[in-house]
Amino acid sequence: MQAETGSMDVEVVILGTGLREAILAAALSKAGFTVAHLDYNEYYGGDDASLSLDELRKWARERSEPPHTSNYLSSQRARFTAVSSSWEAVHAQARHFSISLSPTTLPSVGPLIDSLMASGSSRYGGFKLLERVALYDKPGYVKMVPGSKEDVFKSSELGLLDKRRLMRFLMFATSEFEDKPELVGHEDTPFVDFLRQTFSLNEGASIAVAYALAFNTTTSDTTLPALQRIRRYLRSAGRYGPSPFLVGHYGGAGEVAQGFCRLSAVHGGIYILGREVTSITTSEIPAPPSSTASPRTRYTLALQDFPEQLSCDVLISTHDYLDPSLKSQATRISSDRPSQAIARCIAVIDKPIVFRSSQFSNSQGASEDETDGSTQVDTALLIFPPSCLEAGSSTAAANVLISGPQAYAAPEGHFLLHLSMPLVEPTSRTAEELLKPYLDATLSMADAGRETSASESQPIRPSHTLFYVQHLPTPPSPSDASQSLGSLFVPPSDETMLSELSDSAATNAETTFWKVVEKLKEIRRIKRESAETEGDKSVEEPVVDSFWPPISDTTVVDQDW
Amino acid sequence: MSKQFQFKLVLLGESAVGKSSLVLRFVKDQFDDYRESTIGAAFLTQTVSLDDGTTVKFEIWDTAGQERYKSLAPMYYRNANCAVVVYDITQTASLEKARSWIRELQRQADPSIVIALCGNKSDLSARRQVSQEEAKKYADEEGLMWGETSAKSGEGVADIFTAIAKKLPLTAPPSARGGAARPGASGKPGGVDLNKQANAAGANEPCNC
């Protein structure tokens, strides 16, 4: 089609189509900037992608081989380690799985929901309420977690005194607690200690609040951030239903990323997937003689199997696409988090998970489908607090996001288990060694059949399992904190916490957006000053006064053109 | 009582065959000679009323240019009830491209999808390279609907969408598999519409059965 070699000139090139980059691409395109958005992979979503079973298999294979000449794959191989898998023969419905590399639950109030609604990309995807959150209790059994004040009130599991204490805590957690005497001086106290000391919560309640309400992931997680999360989640409850959380159809984050990419395309964004960036070269363009501006950088990218070169004023890239020398030139958006690692497991099972309450007569108020208080779940969260498994971690909590056909994550009759656990300290144990006890404990909840009771049923075997450790990208070494605004941006890494990842992606996208817009405005100003582009409409002063401009009447769903 | 159906319709075809023009003609009865590649189209809706009182509302998704470098997202095909694959009767190569899009649809989309092959730019028949016989034969072999249209004059445009509308309710009841792509739209069990808040706690309680 485009046989001739040429150059495609845009203002912004974005490398990587993860959720954060997708939101950024949509916002920049909507603001009127020309954007080309690229990915090494043939699918959308980068590290947040939703993959079919075959794509996941390829993904794992690519990351378990020795380093590669491509920057992207080499970086990915350094960031996804200890990959081990077991695959049964080809699955007939392999294409009907949407397996998320970034399992997430989305709070019903927060930056991502705001972006979905304000941008109009909410119309492209679907969501489902998270049905349940439960704590692992013993093989085959869970403890249901009271998710709201109503649940606490109705619970017959809690004694009157405990109920009053928990209610008092929840009232506190929904208030503007920052300057309250209960908190002042305890902001950095480990949260469980705070709950027990300040609110006299018993051990069970403290663990439930810390790990299943605040979603703490380690014993050392501190009080202030945990309280802030609880407040947001409690305020999210009731917006779309009893649960504060939504789970996206078809694998969540990867699908939401596709929606934002489509939105970018609708506003002129150019999409090129499945191409390796073979080189990134920089050239300096001197400022016009009349101008006081300093010379600006232009980036030229060559792609494999692509006739044209891409050239841009601003380059935005995830860590994986950049070699170390380019990475060191990147403008820092905000202070990066310290390096973190998270052990993950994905398992495919063909039996549903059943939450059997160990205190079935007093499980939470919601209706149960069986008299013994057991509930078959499609989309739910199972939490393993620290020290709850003998073979497990004593310092980290693990969680399992279960997602099935109702979340369009798996075909009828199949379910996905996504296990995650942060690695608190360096370990020589593999992801499989670390997570196997948790997987086995989760499988003990599977419904092996009506005729067998929980105690005598044989644990089921997953048809596919994949274990790996995901390392957050190493932050670029800051050359100079006070450096002037460059034209290469590496957006900050997102939170890894299941309930925070998607909001963090939206927040990071917005922070990066404003820095990039500032730079793009500066470049357009310089271009206007130079004679060669006189009368060129593409360098007009852009008016950008909000992340998402209001959706005007002419772009509402039914008249969108 | 009149019945109402809503279907997701996706457009496919090589760049510049007139996909967007076809939809602009169908939805707004307009034509713009100088339309460049698609900008600003999320999706459009248009309702077709059939003789028996049935109304069919199309939710029409344009490729937004993402087909250019083979970068259409799986989301595009998901839950599509029907597809209009467009070629340009003055460009033989565009029919070849249409064939590859049809193969892609057969691979990616729901097996029950209704596909219409549409030869656009029939006003330029003086420069015709694709004969009606050739296209019709191919369509018959693959079990596709077929028609020629001119987005410029309007000829054949309403016909092809009406033909699809007539065929759809019979073959693909929308209640069966979430016909609409809209979040929380009917047919998605436990789906949440982000634009609708729960009236009261528990209103959107997912089905526990």
Calpha distance B190→A129 (Å, rounded)? 7
Residues of B numbered 43-72 whose beta carbons fall under 8 angstroms of chain A's beta carbons: which are they?
Answer: 43-45, 62, 64-66, 68-71
Residues of A numbered 118-137 whose beta carbons fall under 8 angstroms of chain B's beta carbons: which are they?
Answer: 120, 122-129, 131
**So what's the pLDDT on residue B70?**
85
Block residue for tokens 């990208």: A473
Task: Give the lowest-confidence range in A186-195, A317-326, A468-477.
Answer: A468-477
DSSP state of A9: E
State both tokens at A36. Answer: 């080309």
Q: What is the pLDDT of residues A238-258, one digit of tens each?
A: 899 889 999 999 999 999 999
At residue A337, does pLDDT exceed 70?
no
Greatest alpha-carbon span in chain A: 86
Q: Does B190 or A234 have the greater pLDDT score?
A: A234
Calpha distance B105→B123 (Å, rounded)? 28
Q: Is B169 helix (H, G, I), strand (E, B) or coil?
A: helix
At residue A485, does pLDDT exceed 60?
yes
State both tokens at B197. Answer: 């808040």
State both tokens at A529. Answer: 């000053």
**So what's the pLDDT on residue B99?**
95
Beta-bridge partner residues of A396: A218
Cβ-contact A74, A452 below 8 angstroms: no
* Full pLDDT tens readout for chain B, 209 residues: 567 888 999 999 998 899 988 988 998 888 877 655 555 556 788 999 988 888 999 999 988 888 888 899 999 998 899 999 999 999 999 999 999 999 999 888 888 899 999 999 999 999 999 999 999 999 999 999 999 999 999 999 999 999 999 998 665 554 434 434 343 333 455 688 887 776 544 434 443 33
Q: Does A358 or A19 have the greater pLDDT score?
A: A19
Residues of A numbered 211-250 whose beta carbons fall under 8 angstroms of chain B's beta carbons: which are they?
Answer: 237-242, 246, 249-250
Tell whether A3 is within 8 A of chain B (Cβ): no
pTM listed for this prediction: 0.91
Give the closest-approach CA distance of B38 to chain A in angstroms. 7
| ipTM metric | 0.85
Beta strands across the sheet bearing A341-349: A80-87, A464-471, A341-349, A415-422, A398-403, A380-384, A132-138, A141-144
pLDDT band for position A368 (cuts 50, 70, 90): very low
A1, A38, A65, B122 from A277: Cα distances, Å: 20, 9, 20, 41
Helices of type H across A31-129? 53-62, 71-79, 111-119
For chain A, helix, strand, coil in percent to 5 are: 35, 25, 45
Contact A369 B24 (CB under 8 A): no
**So what's the pLDDT on residue A19?**
98
**So what's the pLDDT on residue A559?**
36
Characterize the bridge pairing of strands B4-13 and B55-61: parallel
Q: What is the pLDDT of residues A428-460, one digit of tens each?
A: 899 999 999 999 999 999 986 654 555 555 668
Domains and CATH numbers, chain A: 2-85+251-337+476-533 (3.50.50.60), 148-236 (1.10.405.10)
**So what's the pLDDT on residue A447?**
80
**So what's the pLDDT on residue B132?**
96
**So what's the pLDDT on residue A550?**
84
Q: Is A231 helix (H, G, I), strand (E, B) or coil?
A: helix
Block residue for tokens 């929308």: B174
What's the length of chain B? 209
DSSP state of A351: S
**So what's the pLDDT on residue A534?**
56
Q: CB atoms < 10 A from the CB of A325, how many?
A: 7
Beta-bridge partner residues of B61: B10, B43
Task: Give the lowest-confidence range in A168-182, A277-291, A519-533, B173-187.
Answer: B173-187
Averaged over A157-171, what is the pLDDT? 87
Contact A261 B73 (CB under 8 A): yes
For chain B, helix, strand, coil in percent to 5 are: 30, 20, 50
At residue A69, does pLDDT exceed 50?
yes
Averaged over A372-392, what is the pLDDT? 93
Contact B208 A262 (CB under 8 A): no
In CATH, what class is B4-178? alpha beta
Calpha distance A143→A457 (Å, rounded)? 20
Q: What is the pLDDT of residues A280-305, one digit of tens each?
A: 999 988 877 766 767 788 999 999 99
Sign of CA dihedral A178, A180, A184, A186: negative
DSSP state of B205: P
> Which one-letter amino acid corresponds to residue A470?
Q
**So what's the pLDDT on residue A448?**
65
Q: Which residues on chain A are in Cβ contact (under 8 Å) with B74?
A: 43, 250, 258
At residue A162, does pLDDT exceed 90?
no
At residue A8, does pLDDT exceed 80?
yes
Tell whether A375 is within 8 A of chain B (Cβ): yes
**So what's the pLDDT on residue B35?**
59
